[in-house]
Amino acid sequence: MLEKPRQRLACLLAVACLGGLTAACGFPPVNTEAVAVYAKFAAMKGKSRHDQLVDAAKAEGQLVIYVTNTAIEKKIVPAFEKEYGIDVAVYRATTEQVRGRVLQEAGAHRVLNDVVETKDSEMAILGQQGLIAPYTSDIAGTIPAEAKTDDMVGAYYIATLPIHNVRLVQPGQLPPDLAGYADPKWQGKVAVDQGDFNWYEDLYNYYTKQKGMSDNDFAAMMKRVAKNFRVVDGHVSNTTLLQAGDFPVFLSDFLQYVPSRAKDLSFQPAMDPVTLQILGADPMKGAAHPAAALLFCDYYLTEAQKYLHDAGYIPTNPAAIPGYQPRLPEGTDFVYDDWRTLASDRGNAWQEAWSNLLKGKDPVLPR
């Protein structure tokens, strides 16, 4: 999906191809001019850094970003363009599609974007291929350690947790924990998305590492609960079905799909654990507009935080939001995505284990 007309994006991509890209016969593609820009601003701090970065970005005048978040298209990019007068072209797709496009272009010895925005495990894969430039700034130093990965300073979290239709079930009727959904009365009434194997691995880490449950006990609990699963495909479309009353509970839904004033849907009381997936934006090593890329990454961690919060995400820099009020209550048990595992071959093993659980097959844990 494109924020701007195809002709405009094609024009910007053509400019990107002429931006001093080196290693045209090698992989990964690296722009030596971009590397120098990144090094220059990494050594600077505060207002001096910001002012000089703005001047350099405005001189470039353009920016191409690949993103996964609709809030970037609809709110953040227009605000960024208005504030800095920099022309931005956007390609938006799923996390897998964004990663595939970046890798495909890099395989052809091209870098057609300046910034990539995606989730933790996908960014790790791009980092493993040497495509991501280190993002260094004094702003990054204010972000908590749990919001950072080896390749990314996270800008926000996607929270996964049960969401229910208040017309079909009242809070007092909800189980206090995951094991309670093994009750036969929930058969066919508890939706999970078939792609949420990362959530499944997060649950495993929570129950075994934090709660001391054995692998056998965890597997047995999940098998009992899974007998009641209604397996769905797609968080957006099935949240719509949840709201329409097709089923009462979406066990692995996303917090951002519950508007702050929603009448039919609720996540309260929030059932522990709430799993958090880190997402952020990184500059590309082969960027044709490196100063604009850095400026956007700065913006994403500061002014853009309010837009991310308004869209239902959990910001990593709430201090940048005047009057910030967290949506999830204090004392909630959070589990952070195990992005290292998910970006490795072990991630495939968890995907297979999740698929087996949904099909009623063994093994339901990686061998």
Over residues 179-201, the pLDDT tens digits come to 999 999 999 999 999 999 999 99
What local confidence, expressed as pLDDT, does residue 259 receive? 72
What local confidence, expressed as pLDDT, does residue 7 receive? 37
Predicted confidence (pLDDT) at residue 134 exceeds the cutoff of 50: yes
Both structure tokens of 15: 């400019």
Banded model confidence at residue 26, pLDDT cuts 50, 70, 90: low
What local confidence, expressed as pLDDT, does residue 260 receive? 61
Determine which helix (DSSP H) or strand (DSSP E) holds 62, and give its type and residue range: strand 62-67
Predicted confidence (pLDDT) at residue 258 exceeds the cutoff of 90: no
What is the overall mean pLDDT for the chain?
91
> Based on the number of CB atoms within 10 Å of its own CB, is 326 exposed (0-12), middle (13-18) or buried (19 or more)?
exposed
Predicted confidence (pLDDT) at residue 74 exceeds the cutoff of 60: yes
Determine which helix (DSSP H) or strand (DSSP E) holds 28, and give its type and residue range: none
Over residues 272-331, the pLDDT tens digits come to 999 999 999 999 999 999 999 999 999 999 999 999 999 999 999 999 999 999 999 889
Over residues 81-130, the pLDDT tens digits come to 999 999 999 999 999 999 999 999 999 999 999 999 999 999 999 999 99
Banded model confidence at residue 73, pLDDT cuts 50, 70, 90: confident
Going by their DSSP bridges, the two strands 334-336 and 87-92 should be labelled as unpaired
> What average pLDDT does the segment 249-276 reach?
90
What local confidence, expressed as pLDDT, does residue 70 receive? 87
CA-nearest of 133, 123, 152 to 301 is 152
Q: Maximum distance among all alpha carbons in the chain?
A: 64
What local confidence, expressed as pLDDT, does residue 261 receive? 59
Half-sphere exposure of 46 (CA within 13 A, CB side): 1
268 Rama class: left (phi>0) / alpha (psi -120 to 50) / beta: beta
Rounded CA-CA distance 365/357 in Å is 9
Predicted confidence (pLDDT) at residue 24 exceeds the cutoff of 60: no
What local confidence, expressed as pLDDT, does residue 300 receive? 98
Q: Following CA atoms 109, 113, 114, 116 in sequence, which dihedral angle do they give, to the nearest 10 degrees? A: -110
Both structure tokens of 46: 């505060």
CA angle 308, 310, 315 (to 5 degrees): 40
